[in-house]
Amino acid sequence: MQQTFLDEIGPQIKIANTLIEKELNSRVASLISEYPLTGPQITLMVYLYESKGRTITQKEVADKFVLSHPTIRSIVKRLANHGLVDVGYLETDHRQVTLSLSNKGFQLLEKHIDDIRQTMTDVNKQIVSQLSDADIQQLQQYLSTIIHHF
């Protein structure tokens, strides 16, 4: 039988990513009912939370998350509109946008960080629940190879 487009590796990775993102979004939404936050928004907030005391630029975030500038800008804009992220500029280069959690954003994460981390751990466990330890290692190696290739 001939393989269809959706049976190929690229589309399967995209489908898996979509399913994982939906699961994460659903679980995060149930944790933080104060704001309609998505997985990528929470991930950015956790990144900023864990980078306390360090200047983070929007370009660094785009590079780290392998997302386009417009995508990061959209995520940041929504978080800033909720008052969860503060946006500024580097003193040495006003073209560089800096990001930090606002007091409100920091307090929100402080309140939920343990649950967020547990949710991320649970989703990771769900991803590999049907795999052996050897399969997990092999999957990590394959993903690393794919990521480095691109």
Sign of CA dihedral 89, 90, 96, 97: negative
CATH class of this structure's domain 5-149 = mainly alpha
Q: In angstroms, rounded to a whole number, what is the distance separating the alpha carbons of residues 128 and 39?
A: 19
User: In whole angstroms, how large is the CA radius of gyration of the chain?
Assistant: 18
Please give the model's pTM, rounded to 2 decimal places. 0.82
Here the tokens at position 46 are 């956790």
CA-CA distance, 114 to 110, in Å (whole number)?
Answer: 8
- Any idea which residue has 């399967």 for tokens? 12
Cα gap 150→104, rounded to integer Å: 37
Q: Given a cut of 90, is residue 87 above it in pLDDT?
A: yes
SS3 label, residue 111 = helix
Which pLDDT band holds residue 1 (cuts at 50, 70, 90)? low
Q: What residue ranges do the domains of the chain occupy?
A: 5-149
Tokens of 121: 């751990």
Which of 25-29, 116-120, 128-132, 146-150 is predicted most confidently? 128-132
Strand extents, DSSP E, 13-113: 56-57, 85-89, 97-101
Instruction: Give the range among 26-40, 53-67, 131-145 with minimum mean pLDDT.
Output: 26-40
